[in-house]
Structures are given as C-alpha cells and as structure tokens.
Structure 1
Amino acid sequence: MEYPDELFDLNNEYNPSTSTFTPKHNGVYLIIASLGFFANVPTSYSVRIFIAINGTLRVADNDFLGEELAIVNLVSASSILQLSAGDAVQVFAQATTDGTTVPEPLENTVHFMNFEAARFPSPW
C-alpha cells in the first residue's frame, strides 16, 4: 500500500516515498493501518490488509462484502508489537476484485487511509 501523505512524524521515522515506518528505538509499538476500497463493479468480494515487519506478515484482517453495493469498504488491522530499532514496518492489501483505494477524506473529516505508529513509554 502507498501512504504518501504524511500528516506528522515526530521522530522522522516514516518514509512517505516507500510508505515504510522504521523505528529509531527498541520498544513496544501500537501499529494501526486502514484503507477504503471501492470495487469497480458492485459485486461480492473480500479485501485483506496486512502489517508486515521486515517483509514477514505479522497482522492481518479480512473483510467480506457480501452484497452488491456501491459503497466504500473500510478495512483495518492493528496490533501492539515488539519492534527493534531499524525494523521495516509496511502495509500490504489484497482484494478479490478490481477496484481502487479511496485516499481522500470524506468531507475533510474521515480519513479512509491511514498508517499510524506510536511507541509506548518504557516502564524501566
């Protein structure tokens, strides 16, 4: 997935040209990814989203739209993960029908596509 629009990056750990988050510190991170998908033709289909660490799929979610509706399907995945400094965190998606992602916010309030990472403070 491409997430080229960077809203903020407090520690300069996100590369929008590769859509890769690379933590500078070891720690426990909350990773959240979502996308909006619009099928080219209304049909029943499935959309999957994956969070990968260093190329290995670690988190996934599958969303099935069983009705032939012309709507944006929102799918997301999130997890709390132990990351090491230098790990490459990326998001991938797959659909069983042709369509497009929906990057533009709805009425400038709801972002269909986001890729977020936050480190929890260390207790020690």
Structure 2
Amino acid sequence: MPGPGGNPFPQVLYGLEQFDLNGEYDPATSTFTPRRSGVYSIHASVSFDSNATVAVNVGIVIRANNDPILTDSETFPFGDGVIDAGGIVRLQAGDRVQVFFTISGTAGGNIEASLETRFDGARIG
C-alpha cells in the first residue's frame, strides 16, 4: 500500500490471515472486532521503504472506533525501517480496531509485504 508523504494516516491493509481462533478478524477490511468485552493484547507493525535519502518521520496509530488507543512516531535517518505500536487495552464487544500509517515529507514510500508487517490481537482477560 502506498504511504505518500503528508497523507493523514491511510489504513494499513493486513490481508493475509495466519489464524483466527474466534472469528474476530476480517482480512477483507483489515478490521479486528472482538466478540466479547475484555482486556486485549494488541500489536501492529509496518515495514516500509521510502524514496527519501534523508530522515523521515513515520507514525502508526491503532484506533478503536476511529479513536486512537495505541500510537508511535519515530524519525528514521535513511527513509526505511519498521515501526510498531502495541499494548494492553480494554475493548468492548463490537469495537472496530484498525491500523493507520503515515510517512511525512515530500518523498512517498511503500508498505512492504513482509513478516515484519503484521497485526496481532488476542483477549487476555
């Protein structure tokens, strides 16, 4: 997925599903929707390649119902790398969890389809 410079956090598409024990992840929309309210461990990462030859600012936001719940922003000196965000959050049944990503600056870039670009979500309590 392209991540052109300056775009306000386009959604990350995680289309490949490894396993889904409770039928809570929809790879067609890259949306995690818990069936039960509770405490969840959520983690997302993005491997990216930018066209920049200078430092770029990168951000990742995990949102529940379009509200940010976990975020990270970093500066990468050569324009490519991996950024991640994760933590333990309380979710309600039916919440829609999605991941968004941006690269700042004038050079665009791409999200790389690799083992480092992934989403994990599981109820832990």
Give the TM-score normalised by the residue count of structure 1.
0.85
Shift of 1:79: 1.4
Say if 2:34 is the partner of 1:27.
no
Aligned CA RMSD, in angstroms, stands at: 1.2
Show the 5 A alignment for 1:74-93.
Answer: 74-93=82-101
Deviates more, 1:81-90 or 1:39-48: 39-48
Q: Which amino acid aligns with 2:111?
A: T
Say if 2:37 is the partner of 1:37.
no
Say if 2:120 is the partner of 1:116.
yes
Equivalent residue number for residue 109 of structure 2: 99
Runs ≥4 residues deviating over 2 A? none
- C-alpha distance in 1, partners of 2:84/2:53? 21
> Cα deviations across residues 21-77 of structure 1 (Å, max 9, x unaligned)?
0000010001000000111232210110000000111211012013xx37x410000
Tell me: higher relative CO, structure 1 or 2? Use CA pairs within 8 A at least 6 residues apart. Answer: 2
- C-alpha distance in 2, partners of 1:73/1:63? 10
List gaps (5 residues or longer) in structure 1: 105-110
Say if 2:55 is the partner of 1:55.
no
Percentage identity across paired residues of the two chains:
38
- C-alpha distance in 1, partners of 2:64/2:44? 13
List gaps (5 residues or longer) in structure 2: 1-11
